């Protein structure tokens, strides 16, 4: 690794090697989280002809096969996930701006700069099927919009209104969502609307957390 990143090869190669991993249940979420870092382009540095995005995309295929594989024992899927906001992938709008703020949880937050209607960020997590509390830790102010969430492109009817007349830090908002199956799922946050008194569609957030509450 160079500067904390893996170096990209020239190509993935066409020879596959299979490995069977046996891991204690309580360590499985950490193992999945460590493997998932290889599917993020910012953990790769270009050396071969593959770009970091191409290397990460190729590794996502490997991860999908790993999560769906069986090795003689039942697979145990995580029942919680925690992601800092910059671990999401922007699919519409401008890049994330990082801000250090002593009054905010974890002393930091991110927002798309400049904000616009339909700004979208997507997170992925491997989870057990069930009902989950989906919690966003962010801020509220008179420039922020209303967040709509989708699970695997199925939009949830609940929204998160981030408007407040004055700026409020460390604001935790939770909705209940359903994860339909065991495995890899995608959680999309889209700023589709805003409060009538808000001047913009900003979303200022620190982390996303998912915790299973029932079947």
Q: pLDDT (tens digit, 9 = 90+) per residue, 18-47?
A: 777 778 878 888 888 888 888 888 889 998
Question: 205 pairs with which residues across the strands?
Answer: 110, 138
Q: pLDDT (tens digit, 9 = 90+) per residue, 174-209?
A: 999 999 999 999 999 999 999 999 999 999 999 999
What fold is seen in the domain 80-214? Jelly Rolls (2.60.120)
Q: Which of 25, 21, 15 is nearest to 35 (CA)?
A: 21
Confidence of residue 72 (pLDDT cuts 50, 70, 90): low
Q: Which of 60, 49, 130 is nearest to 89 (CA)?
A: 60
Average pLDDT, the chain: 92
- Residues of the chain with pLDDT > 70, as a percent, come to 97
Confidence of residue 168 (pLDDT cuts 50, 70, 90): very high
pLDDT of the residue at 49: 92
Instruction: Locate CATH 2.60.120.260 in the chain.
Output: 80-214
CA atoms within a 13 Å half-sphere pointing along the CA-CB vector of 109: 22
């Amino acid at each position: 690794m160079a500067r904390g990143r893996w170096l990209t090869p020239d190509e993935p190669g066409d020879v596959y090697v299979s490995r069977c991993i046996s891991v204690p249940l309580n360590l499985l979420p950490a193992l999945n989280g460590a493997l998932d870092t290889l599917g993020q382009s910012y953990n790769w540095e270009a050396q071969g002809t593959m770009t970091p995005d191409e290397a990460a995309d190729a590794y996502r295929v490997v991860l999908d096969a790993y999560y769906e594989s069986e090795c003689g024992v039942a697979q145990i899927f995580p029942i919680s996930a925690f992601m800092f906001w910059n671990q999401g992938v922007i699919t519409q709008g401008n890049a994330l701006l990082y801000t250090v703020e002593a009054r905010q949880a974890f002393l930091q937050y991110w927002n798309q700069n400049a904000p616009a209607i339909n700004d979208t960020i997507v997170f992925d997590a491997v989870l057990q099927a069930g009902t989950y509390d989906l919690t966003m830790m962010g801020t509220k102010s008179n420039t922020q919009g209303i967040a709509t969430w989708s699970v695997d492109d199925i939009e949830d009817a609940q929204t998160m209104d981030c408007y407040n007349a004055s700026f409020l830090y460390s604001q935790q908002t939770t909705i209940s969502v359903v994860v339909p199956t065991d495995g890899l799922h995608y959680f999309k946050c889209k700023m589709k609307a805003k409060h009538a008194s808000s001047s913009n569609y900003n979303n200022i957030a620190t982390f996303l957390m998912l915790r299973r509450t029932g079947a």
